[in-house]
Structures are given as C-alpha cells and as structure tokens.
Amino acid sequence: MQIITNDELKYLLQITDLILLDVREHYEYEQGHIPGALWFPLNRIGELASFWSFDTKLVVICNTENRSAAACRYLKSHGFKNLFYVVPGMKAWDGPLTTAGCPMLTRGTNSIKQVYFDHAATTPVDPQVASAMWWYLTQEFGNPSSAYYYGRRSKEALFKARHQVAQLIGANEQEIIFTSGGTEADNTALWGILKALPPERRVLITSAIEHAAILNNIPALEKAGYRVIVLPVTDTGLVEPEVLEQALSSKVGLVSIMYANNEVGTIQPIAELVKLAHQVGAYFHTDAVQAVGLCSIDVNQLQVDALSLSAHKIYGPKGVGALYLRDGTPYLPFIYGGAQENQRRAGTENVAGIVGLGVACQRICQQLKNVEYLKELRDYLEDSLKLLSGVTIHGHPTQRLPNNCCFSISDYSGQDLVLDLDVYGIACSSGSACQGKQPSHVLQAIHVPEKQIKQAIRISLGWSNTREEIDYFISVLKELTGE
C-alpha cells in the first residue's frame, strides 16, 4: 500500500495500465471525475475480488486521504497487493475532468451486511410517521392561518400534534412552541428568556459539555453584554450540584444544563439542579434532545422552565422540533414576523413535519416501557468490548443513556476506525455529528487523555438493533485490530 501524489497519478495514467477507483459520493462523481475513473462506493469495496485478481494495480482516490486509505486498508487485508491511494486527492485535482460514462461496477446485489449504530446522530423515520406526513404533503396542504376549510384542517393537525408532544413530557398544549429543530429550540430558550429578564439578571450558567447549539452562543451573548459561567464536570461527565450552587447568585437569570450528553450519554441530576437555580430566582432550561424517547421525562416533576426536543432523534423527520416553555416564564420572541405559535415563533408552520413530530412522540411514548431492551443490548456490547485489549469506555458507569457506548481502542484512530467499519457496512461515529473534525470538547472536559480522544468512537443503539449485529460488529473489530 503506497501513497502517491496528484502529479504522480497524472504520470501513471499516461504510462501504465491501472484501475482508478473513485470512492466519493455519487453526486460528486457525477459533477466531475478523472476520465476513466470508476465510481465504487466504499461499502462495496469488498466485491472487488469478483472483478480483478489480487495482482491488479488499483489506485483509490477521494476528496481527502482518509476514505482512500480506509479502502486500501480493507483491500490489503483481503489479499490485494498493488494498492495506491492519492494525496491530497480530488479536492486539489487540477487535471482533466469529465462528467461522462464510467458507471459503477455492479455484479449482483450488495452482499455486505448493513448495520446502523448511530442513532444519536439521527434515527430512521418510523413508517407510521412517514405515512401520516405523506397525507399532509399531498392532500391537506392548507395554511393553518387561513380561515377557510383547508386552513382549518391544517390547524386541527397542529392542535393534535401539540397534544401528542405535550403528552410525552407531561406538559400542557399551550406550553409547546414548534421550531425547526433542536438547535432553534436551544437558541430560542437562551435568547428568548434572557432578553425578557431585568438588567440585573444578565448572567447565564451552562456546562462545559453542552451541545454546540448552546456553547456556540457564548461569544454572541458576551458581545451583547451578558456574562456566561461555564461549569466544569466530573471525569464521568456529571455537573455536581455543589459546583452549581457555588456559581449561583442573584445576578443569574438562566441556567442551561443538558439532560443527557450526546457523546458519552451521562444523565444529569436535573431535578436537583433546578431546585438550586430556583432558590436564587433563576430560570432553568434543559436540552433534552438526546434524552427524549430514552428517558421518562415529566416537566412538572423536574420543574424545568424550558426544555428542547427534536423530531429526528425519535424516529421523526429532520427539520422540526419543539420548545417547552412553562406558563409564566419570561419570554420575548426569537424570530419576528407573523403571529404564529401564539405570537411566540413567527413563520408559516411546517405542518407535515409537525404532524410527523406528533406521531413520533406518540410512538416513542409507547416504546418507553421497552427501554430496558436497549440497556441489555448496550451492556452486551460493552461486555464483549471488555474482552478486547486496549478498550476504554467513557462516561458514567450507571447514570448513562441506555443506548450509549463511547469507547477508545488503543493505537487505532477513531476517524480511521469509523471509515474502516464503513467498508464492512457498519455505521457509527467518532463524536458528535454536529462537531465535524474538531477534537471532542466533551472528552476534553471529562479529562480523557488527548491520545484516547483521537481514538474514540460512539455507538448509539436503536430499537431495530440486535445481538446478532453486535456479534458481527465485534467480529469485524477483532479482524481490524488483529485479535
């Protein structure tokens, strides 16, 4: 397995016979590829042995070296001898391009098993959710603000969905504000509440492991004159009540602590933290995007003043979410325009998406009684991982989401492992889907060594996963690590 440069590839294409495989996404290939390059998706690389002998000279190219290297590692482990991958690859290619011909090589169906282990990033849409949405995409198309029949039908759909969302978290219908997702719900809670508070309450308290939808507001808040206190967490990711208590004062207007972390799954003692905040007159918001559907949540038991949730984390559609806002909580609109959502969130409502959110909440409410299945599955996974050498599991040992397993394997880059697993049809992540290639601020906050941070991956299980899939994952992991 050798690395070649773009210039070396140009030379080789002129003087020698080789097979050039483009493993980018299909739309990228169609926009322009090297003449003669064959498009071959990464998760079908295993079929190449049915096309060429192990002595064939294969050159793999992508936008960056990571996916190319992953393909070559797989091919090398399966017997191919003459392998090359191109650095930096297509992102810096200045040679000839074409949009013609050279379709994907196909021979039969994809024989590689497909396993989805990234439900913290997103979940598949429940068929009943999709069915309910389809009706409002094709038949009931009215604007809910219209007074005539079509509008009234859409308005009724919003009312029903509002009830379904409220029922899931123990709220009243009028306390639910529909948004475009969890990020908007978080932003709306921060700015909507803080702007409505008196000037002597211009301090926000949050934690070091919050989602980017909270933490990336800090520079703008500080520029607007607010002071932000970021609390440290323990090595297992907990916000300790005494740490919050020490930071609280009569100047604090809002505390925002996530219910459960999206990377390591640690569940916070929200009810205890809320009580402390209320003792000094501060309001409390929790980002429950990861927790809803996996934890039984009652806003009245927790006494939170605001709570964010998102449809696509609970088998609903992307692009829709909700903010619970307790009656009486000070609030100014985050988005200005029409009088929708009782003048709290302007803009014509995404009726089909909101219907999908409502049905997803109803469906997930029924599934909560079976959440022990996910915990048993996760424990089975971790018991299997502990039998491998060099594995470290991150997060709280008991106060953790039942589907979450974040771990590091020594001497194996997390990004490389994710790509290598992808070749075998296994989908997981090397951190938050919203974080990209940045080092995990969550793992940094819980004091994971830098080397282990780079080696970390996250498995997040869903209702359709099985023990057989975990066995397959472990067998692939053993093959990749040489155990």
Residues with a catalytic annotation lie at: 434
Q: Which amino acid is at 300?
A: N
Angstrom distance (rounded) from CA 139 to CA 436: 39
Would you call the peptide bond into 449 cis, given omega within 30 degrees of 0 as the criterion? no
Per DSSP, 105 falls in state: P
Torsion of CA 166, 167, 171, 175, to 10 degrees: 20
Look up residue 199 and give its two tokens: 């000037």
Question: Residue 79, exposed/middle/buried by CB under 10 A (0-12, 13-18, 19+)?
Answer: exposed
3-state secondary structure of 241: helix
Strands 283-287 and 252-256: parallel
Beta bridge partners of 295: 292
Angstrom distance (rounded) from CA 466 to CA 371: 14
- Report H helices in 95-195: 127-138, 149-169, 182-194
Look up residue 262 and give its two tokens: 């999206």
Angstrom distance (rounded) from CA 101 to CA 37: 9
Classify 88 in phi/psi space as left (phi over 0), alpha (psi -120 to 50) or beta: alpha
Q: Are 437 and 419 in contact (CB under 8 A)?
A: no
Look up residue 268 and give its two tokens: 């916070």
CA–CA distances in Å: residue 258 to residues 209, 214, 216, 217, 393 = 8, 9, 14, 15, 21
In 3-state terms, the chain is what percent helix, strand and coil (to 5)? 40, 15, 40
Pick from 22, 157, 40, 154: which is nearest to 86 by CA? 22
Burial 167-184 (b: 16+ CB within 10 A, else e): ebbebeeebbbbbbbbbb
Number of neighbours of residue 78 by Cβ within 10 angstroms: 13
